[in-house]
């Protein structure tokens, strides 16, 4: 269904904020019926571009042509009417309402002009899902659906609006592997029916699997548009980062010691079932598995967020007291949560206060914080982690995702832990910042700390772990040494013990 | 970048600008407004407000609220007065017992909020109703008076030209400011108010912080109650009725976010004085009480609306993203 006619064209679109150019003279042409990837680091201007197209913000300059109609004054209502839909990372769904009610939110089908015609809405919704070959009950309440299905509801909503162009912003970021496969199938289906998809993602493998063409944005400029067939991942990363990229994972020099830092014996509780393992000083122990396999749940037990029913945890040969995170931190364990915005960074306070928060009591005398020590600490970690900000008095919410994550790392490192638990430490951050975070992890183990790395990104897991344990259904289902690493094996172990 | 600097100044000191405008306006329409004796008068009138505002600020920073302040003030009024008049206690002992009581009442709020998990607005609404009732029961609705002469110093005395309640208020504001800016547990208020989960995972025991905030709020309400008692010279069960809303108005004017995490003592001072200046100025200008209410409500609305619009970027002065 692809043809050469552009359905959406941007001509010299710029968007300037006081002091910042978010988009600089971007021209772009999207062909009807193609799947077009939009990639770039955080802050490259992807979101701004989407918002300009949907009319959520007004470009400072430039023209947008939608379906051969030229616009300078798009509004969200107008773009919707012209068949453009955006599926954001954070869904616009009302959890308490049914699927059908969500699909027809704000434009319910009515009987006699007053009463809701639930039957008709359910029927329409069912038709859309049938068309997509997705099994969702239109009467189900949205909050009972998995994230993957919720996304399908968003797509159905777009289709019920008769959308011809759908923007998808990081659609796979919070999906499991199977859910991602479902999503891909649906995208293929949409493509066949002539819908144009603009796919924004950090995951380059997906882009190669799914898209026809790719546009790389960097620093608000459109760098290049390429055919998928004529490029490769390395080339794309180079274009995104703007420099040559030789290695994806930094090298590790020192080897693992024989000293055990963490010894977990028969740990059970919080969905974890009889887990035993050891972490040595200088070791990066990877934890693979599907979402819900019990990896985060295990981390919560170790960090004192939840209490365990059975088992024994030894840190440096001493029993680890897990009454609450405060005592765990004081014994030398740090935890970086998978959810940076909700459970990681303290967004409303500044960098300095974030870095010092876990040891604030220790750098206080008679309850008064020693601000000199605090400043020194902040400077030290800003340097060490190369946090890019005008000063440590910057509020963390104003930083990019990568820099926010570095602040979270600084917060964890300031109490000088012996064991660091990293739960999806590079989720939602760009390639350049990822590499820096890998370097930091390796620095940590080279200083003799032990690291537990929980990751759903296979490449990352295999790239920097020394050993991988795979969890499924709360149990360890496999152990792989570095030379045995393979995606197939991890997936195989990850699907053991399911459905029991 | 000149423009941005100007804008961030407005954002930071807008409330002071509003205060200055009010002062200039009242000075221009009245000869008596800008005299030392009247200004001290204003300061004395707002001193109770300033004292109680510090405590309430802690609870607001956590994203909570303390509606029981007014009733705690009433109860302290009745209890402190009874202890002196009916039990013949010395003013010092009566004040100490009253303060211990108000602190315990605050602690109870903290307990219900942190341990049972009832929303703060409900817990303190219950406390407000209960303690008001207890105050009426104890006093049988009658005023209690006839205190030892030494007691009147707290509310009516002067140190040189400065009224004692003003000195107490300044002292308490300084304590509040030190707690929030200098102590580690003061920082915890901002961290917990900004994001409870992240604060917990950073090693802050959130429950303890909640206990502390409500306990402090109870204590400062107790101080305000004693000052009011000394000022009015008579213990009454309706002494603090509706006081929590005046405090809330002052704090909101001072830019403390009702969603938690944001607020500075420095700005609250301005909020407190805006209310004081407005009341005093309108009285001097002979504006009727009823019209005063309308004006105060509108001022609060304008202040919070300004804050919201500016946050949403609808008043877009110099918003920068990095």
Q: How far apart are CA A421 and CA B59, in angstroms?
A: 33
B121 pLDDT above the threshold of 70: yes
Tell me the pLDDT tens digit for each residue of A204-224.
888 898 999 999 998 888 999
Nearest Cα neighbor of B84 from B150, B131, B154 is B150
* Closest partner CB to A360 (pick from B178, B184, B318): B184
Residue A457: other Cβ atoms inside 10 A: 16
Nearest-CA residue of chain B relative to A330? B203
- Give me the residue spans of the domains in chain B: 2-312
Residue A250: exposure state from Cβ atoms within 10 A (0-12, 13-18, ≥19): middle
Residues in chain B: 322
Nearest-CA residue of chain A relative to B317? A18
pLDDT given at position A145: 86
Domains of chain A in start order, with CATH, are 6-241 (3.40.50.300), 260-494 (3.40.50.300)
A233 pLDDT above the threshold of 60: yes
**Contact at 8 Å (CB) between B92 and B241?**
no
Q: Using the 8-state DSSP alphabet, how is residue A399 labeled? A: S
**Contact at 8 Å (CB) between A40 and A224?**
no
Check if A47 contacts B (Cβ < 8 Å).
no
Point out the least confidently predicted range of A44-48, B39-43, B266-270.
A44-48
B317 pLDDT above the threshold of 50: no
Within 8 A of B195 by CB-CB distance, chain A residues are 342-343, 346-348
**Contact at 8 Å (CB) between B275 and B46?**
yes
Tell me the pLDDT tens digit for each residue of A88-140.
877 888 888 999 999 988 888 888 878 888 888 999 999 988 888 888 899 99
pLDDT given at position B106: 97
Alpha carbon A235 to chain centroid, angstroms: 23
Confidence tier at B320 by pLDDT (50, 70, 90)? very low
Smallest CA–CA distance, residue B320 to chain A, in Å, is 7
Within 8 A of B4 by CB-CB distance, chain A residues are 18-19
Residue A363: other Cβ atoms inside 10 A: 18
> Which residues between 8 and 27 in chain A have a beta carbon less than 8 angstroms from any beta carbon of chain B?
17-20
Interface contact A346-B199, CB threshold 8 A: yes
Name which of A45, A341, A348 to mutate to probe chain B: the one with the most chain B Cβ atoms within 10 A of its Cβ: A348
pLDDT given at position B319: 37
* Closest partner CB to A358 (pick from B185, B202, B319): B202
Nearest-CA residue of chain A relative to B196? A343
Within 8 A of A324 by CB-CB distance, chain B residues are 200, 205
Q: Which helix (H) or strand (E) holds A299?
A: helix A295-302
Q: How far apart are CA A178 and CA A134, in angstroms?
A: 13
* Closest partner CB to A364 (pick from B184, B190, B322): B184
CA dihedral A74→A80→A85→A86, nearest 10 degrees, is 50
Within 8 A of A400 by CB-CB distance, chain B residues are 322
Pairing state between β A419-423 and A333-336:
parallel
Check if A344 contacts B (Cβ < 8 Å).
yes
Residue B140: other Cβ atoms inside 10 A: 9
pLDDT given at position B170: 95
Point out the least confidently predicted range of A302-306, B96-100, B206-210, B316-320.
B316-320
Q: How far apart are CA A282 and CA A259, in angstroms?
A: 9
Tell me the pLDDT tens digit for each residue of B18-70.
888 889 999 998 888 888 889 898 999 999 999 999 999 999 999 999 999 99
Interface contact A343-B198, CB threshold 8 A: yes
Region B188-215: mean pLDDT is: 94
Phi-psi region of A270 (alpha: psi -120 to 50; beta: other; left: phi over 0): left
Smallest CA–CA distance, residue B189 to chain A, in Å, is 11
Within 8 A of B196 by CB-CB distance, chain A residues are none
Q: What is the value of ipTM here, to two decimals?
A: 0.82
At the top level of CATH, the class of B2-312 is mainly alpha
Pairing state between β A196-200 and A35-39:
parallel
- The percentage of chain B sitting over the pLDDT mark of 70, rounded to a whole number, equals 92
Residue B182: exposure state from Cβ atoms within 10 A (0-12, 13-18, ≥19): middle
CA dihedral B107→B110→B115→B116, nearest 10 degrees, is 110
**Contact at 8 Å (CB) between A149 and A186?**
no
Name which of B198, B216, B312 to mutate to probe chain A: the one with the most chain A Cβ atoms within 10 A of its Cβ: B198
Check if A337 contacts B (Cβ < 8 Å).
yes
**Contact at 8 Å (CB) between A336 and A409?**
yes
Name which of B6, B12, B201 to mutate to probe chain A: the one with the most chain A Cβ atoms within 10 A of its Cβ: B201
Check if A416 contacts B (Cβ < 8 Å).
no
Nearest Cα neighbor of A254 from A280, A282, A273 is A282
Within 8 A of A305 by CB-CB distance, chain B residues are 200-201
**Contact at 8 Å (CB) between A298 and A308?**
no
Q: Tokens for A169?
A: 């912003």
Those residues whose C-beta lies under 8 Å from the C-beta of residue A384, and which sit 6 or more positions away, are A410
A42 pLDDT above the threshold of 80: no
Within 8 A of A389 by CB-CB distance, chain B residues are 322
Smallest CA–CA distance, residue A63 to chain B, in Å, is 24
Nearest-CA residue of chain A relative to B189? A349
What beta strand segments (E) does A18-146 contain?
20-31, 35-39, 61-66, 69-71, 84-87, 110-111, 115-116
Q: How far apart are CA A241 and CA B296, in angstroms?
A: 56
Q: Using the 8-state DSSP alphabet, how is residue A69 labeled? A: E
Looking at every residue in chain A, the average pLDDT score rounds to 88
Alpha carbon A294 to chain centroid, angstroms: 19
Within 8 A of B183 by CB-CB distance, chain A residues are 364, 367-369
Q: Tokens for B314?
A: 């609808």
Within 8 A of B193 by CB-CB distance, chain A residues are 348
Interface contact B187-A17, CB threshold 8 A: no
Q: Which helix (H) or strand (E) holds A392?
A: none
Smallest CA–CA distance, residue B209 to chain A, in Å, is 13
Nearest-CA residue of chain B relative to A391? B322
Q: How far apart are CA A34 and CA A190, in angstroms?
A: 10
pLDDT given at position A247: 59
Q: How far apart are CA A226 and CA B186, in angstroms?
A: 54
Check if A378 contacts B (Cβ < 8 Å).
no
Helix axes B265-284 and B164-182, enclosed angle (nearest 10) = 150
Tell me the pLDDT tens digit for each residue of A258-293.
899 999 999 999 989 999 999 999 999 999 987 778
* Closest partner CB to A398 (pick from B188, B198, B322): B322
Q: How far apart are CA A270 and CA A306, in angstroms?
A: 7
Interface contact A342-B191, CB threshold 8 A: no
Smallest CA–CA distance, residue B300 to chain A, in Å, is 24
Interface contact B191-A367, CB threshold 8 A: no
Within 8 A of B257 by CB-CB distance, chain A residues are none
Point out the least confidently predicted range of A22-26, A307-311, B86-90.
A22-26
Interface contact B183-A369, CB threshold 8 A: yes
* Closest partner CB to B320 (pick from A19, A345, A360): A19
């Amino acid at each position: 269904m692809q043809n050469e006619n552009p359905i959406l064209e941007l001509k010299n679109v710029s968007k300037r904020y006081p002091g910042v150019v978010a988009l600089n003279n971007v021209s772009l042409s999207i062909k009807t019926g193609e799947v077009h990837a939009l990639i770039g680091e955080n802050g490259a201007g992807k979101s701004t571009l989407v918002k300009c197209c949907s009319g959520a913000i007004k470009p400072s300059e430039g023209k947008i042509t939608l379906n051969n109609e030229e616009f300078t004054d798009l509004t969200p209502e107008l773009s919707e009417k012209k068949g453009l839909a955006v599926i954001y990372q954070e869904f616009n769904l009302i959890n308490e309402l049914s699927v059908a009610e969500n699909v027809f939110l704000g434009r319910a089908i009515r009987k006699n002009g007053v009463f809701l015609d639930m039957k008709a809405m359910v029927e329409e919704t069912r038709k859309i899902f049938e068309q997509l070959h997705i099994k969702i009950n239109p009467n189900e309440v949205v909050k009972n659906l998995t994230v993957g299905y919720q996304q399908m509801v968003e797509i159905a909503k777009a289709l019920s609006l008769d959308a011809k162009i759908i923007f998808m912003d990081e659609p796979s970021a919070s999906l499991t592997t199977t859910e991602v496969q479902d999503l891909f199938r649906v995208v293929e289906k949409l493509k066949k029916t002539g819908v144009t998809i603009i796919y924004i993602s950090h995951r380059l493998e997906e882009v190669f699997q799914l898209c026809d063409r790719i546009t790389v944005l960097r620093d608000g400029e459109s760098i290049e548009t390429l055919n998928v067939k004529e490029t490769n991942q390395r080339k794309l990363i180079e274009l995104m980062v703007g420099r040559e990229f030789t290695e994806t994972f930094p090298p590790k020099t020192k080897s693992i010691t024989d000293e055990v830092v963490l010894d977990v014996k028969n740990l059970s509780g919080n969905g974890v079932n009889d887990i035993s393992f050891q972490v040595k000083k200088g070791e990066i122990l990877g934890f693979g598995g599907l979402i819900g396999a019990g990896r985060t749940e295990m981390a919560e037990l170790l960090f004192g967020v939840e209490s365990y029913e059975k088992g024994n945890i030894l840190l440096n040969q001493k029993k680890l007291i897990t009454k609450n995170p405060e005592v765990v931190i004081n014994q030398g364990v740090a935890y970086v949560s998978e959810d940076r915005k909700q459970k990681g960074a303290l967004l409303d306070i500044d960098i300095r206060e974030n870095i010092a928060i876990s040891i604030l009591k220790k750098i206080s005398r008679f309850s008064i914080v020693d601000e000199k020590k605090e400043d020194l600490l902040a400077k030290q970690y800003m340097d060490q982690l190369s946090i890019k900000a005008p000063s440590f008095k910057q509020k963390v919410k104003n930083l990019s995702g990568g820099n926010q994550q570095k602040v979270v790392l600084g917060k964890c490192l300031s109490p000088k832990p012996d064991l660091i638990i990293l739960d999806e430490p590079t989720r939602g951050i760009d390639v350049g910042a990822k590499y820096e975070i890998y370097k930091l992890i390796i620095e940590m183990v080279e200083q003799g700390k032990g690291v537990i790395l929980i990751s759903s990104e296979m490449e990352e897991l295999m790239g920097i772990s020394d050993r991988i344990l795979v969890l499924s259904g709360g149990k360890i289902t496999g152990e792989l040494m570095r030379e045995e690493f393979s995606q197939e094996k991890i997936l195989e172990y990850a699907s053991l013990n399911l459905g029991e | 970048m000149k423009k941005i600097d100007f804008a961030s100044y407005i954002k930071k000191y807008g409330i002071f600008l509003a205060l200055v405008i009010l002062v200039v306006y009242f000075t221009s329409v009245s000869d008596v407004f800008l005299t030392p004796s009247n200004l001290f008068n204003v300061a004395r009138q707002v001193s109770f407000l300033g004292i109680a505002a510090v405590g309430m600020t802690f609870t607001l920073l956590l994203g909570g609220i303390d509606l029981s302040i007014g009733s705690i003030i009433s109860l302290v009024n009745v209890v402190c007065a009874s202890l002196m008049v009916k039990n013949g206690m010395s003013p010092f002992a009566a004040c100490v017992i009253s303060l211990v009581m108000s602190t315990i009442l605050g602690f109870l709020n903290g307990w219900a909020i942190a341990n049972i998990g009832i929303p703060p607005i409900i817990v303190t609404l219950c406390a407000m109703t209960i303690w008001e009732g207890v105050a009426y029961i104890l006093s049988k609705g009658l005023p209690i008076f006839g205190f030892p002469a030494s007691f009147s110093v707290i509310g009516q005395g002067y140190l040189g030209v400065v009224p004692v309640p003003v000195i107490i208020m300044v002292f308490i504001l300084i304590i509040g400011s030190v707690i929030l800016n200098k102590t580690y547990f003061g920082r915890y208020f901002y961290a917990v108010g900004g994001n409870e989960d992240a604060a917990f995972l950073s090693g802050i025991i959130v429950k303890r912080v909640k206990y502390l905030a409500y306990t402090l709020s109870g204590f400062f309400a107790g101080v305000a109650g004693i000052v009011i008692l000394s000022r009015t010279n008579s213990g009454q069960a309706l002494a603090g009725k509706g006081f929590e809303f005046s405090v809330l108005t002052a704090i909101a004017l001072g830019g403390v976010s009702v969603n938690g995490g944001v607020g500075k003592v420095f700005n609250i001072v301005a909020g407190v004085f805006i209310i004081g200046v407005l009341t005093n100025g309108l009285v001097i200008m002979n504006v009727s009480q009823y019209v005063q209410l309308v004006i105060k409500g509108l001022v609060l609305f304008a202040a919070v609306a300004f804050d919201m619009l500016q946050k949403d970027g609808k008043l877009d002065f110099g918003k920068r993203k990095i």
